[in-house]
Each structure stands twice: as structure tokens, then as C-alpha cells.
Amino acid sequence: MSVRSTVLAGIFAAFSTAAAFADGIELHDAYARAASPMAQSGAAFMIIHNHGGPDDRLIGAASPIAQKVELHTHEEDDAGVMRMIHVEEGFALPTDGEIVMERGGKHVMFMGLSESLEQGMTIPLTLIFEAAGEMTFDIEVDLEPRAGHGHDHDGNHDHSHSHGSGD
């Protein structure tokens, strides 16, 4: 890569990161996992926080690691059985609010994985918002069991996060 290309790529990355932060949207505690090394599906979990941006809605997701990526949640049916469902309308993200995506609840679902998800690898995930548009984040694959999501519901949470490189 030429020096000029490297500089231009750096400027674009800096601009993209600034744009994502300007929208007020941050990703906290994001990770992806697959059920097994041979699994054809996987999921991503995270907390999406809207720091002062306008009310928005997460309406989709995409990643080159899967043929199809959808927003899902779990719902109890009439027989008391929990089942996973695609949430076509997405999830509301109010000003100064958050979307908590955790196991057994809301999550991003990867279907038709093009490669196995291995511990420690980083994968790109594009989140699509109604107002903010597309934002791409790099998230780590963590196959280790997690008791929680790094988030407790008394308002405190792990402040490690990444900013998107939105388009």
C-alpha cells in the first residue's frame, strides 16, 4: 500500500469513527460466539448505548462471516416453551437509552457461517439504524461461558467499549 493510500485510509477511518461517535451510539461489552466449531450459526451480544443522539431504532445487521444476519429475541409460546424469533421491526434505541442484547434475550443471529468462529478472532459487524444509518464495529469472538453480560441493572456497567467506523 502506498504512503498516500495509507494516509487516505487513516483519514477515512478517523472521519468514520468521528461520525459514529457524533451520532452518540456506542457499543459496550460486544462479543460473538458459536455453539460449536462446526456450527452453521452463531450470535452476537452487546449493549448499544445512545449517548444523547436522537431517538433511533436498530433495524438490521450484516457481516461477511454469514450468509444471513438477523435481529432475534426469545419469546415464550402458549405452551410455555421459549423459542427464538426474528424481530423484523428491530429494537428501539431512545435518547440516553440502551439496547441490551444478551443470551436468552435480544441478540444478533448469524446464519450460514462462512467460517468457524474461533476464540479471540475479531469479526466485522455492521449495525443498521433507522436514523444513524450503518455503523461497522469489530467485535471479538469469545466462546467462554459468561455468567452475565458485564452489565448489572443498577446502572453500573463495564465501560470498555468500541466506537463504530460507520459509513
- On whether the CB atoms of residues 128 and 70 are closer than 8 A, the answer is no
Predicted pLDDT at 147: 60
Domain residue ranges of the chain, discontinuous segments joined by +: 24-144
pTM: 0.74
Q: What are the tens digits of pLDDT across the range 43-98?
A: 999 999 999 999 999 999 999 999 999 999 999 889 989 899 999 999 999 999 99
pLDDT higher at 13 or 120: 120
Judged by average pLDDT, the poorest of 27-41, 62-76, 143-157 is 143-157
* Long-range Cβ pairs for the range 58-61 (8 Å, 24+): 58/90, 58/91, 58/93, 58/99, 58/127, 58/128, 58/129, 58/130, 59/89, 59/90, 59/128, 59/129, 59/130, 60/90, 60/127, 60/128, 61/108, 61/125, 61/126, 61/127, 61/128
Q: Which residue has the cell 452476537?
A: 44
Class of domain 24-144: mainly beta
pLDDT higher at 48 or 34: 48
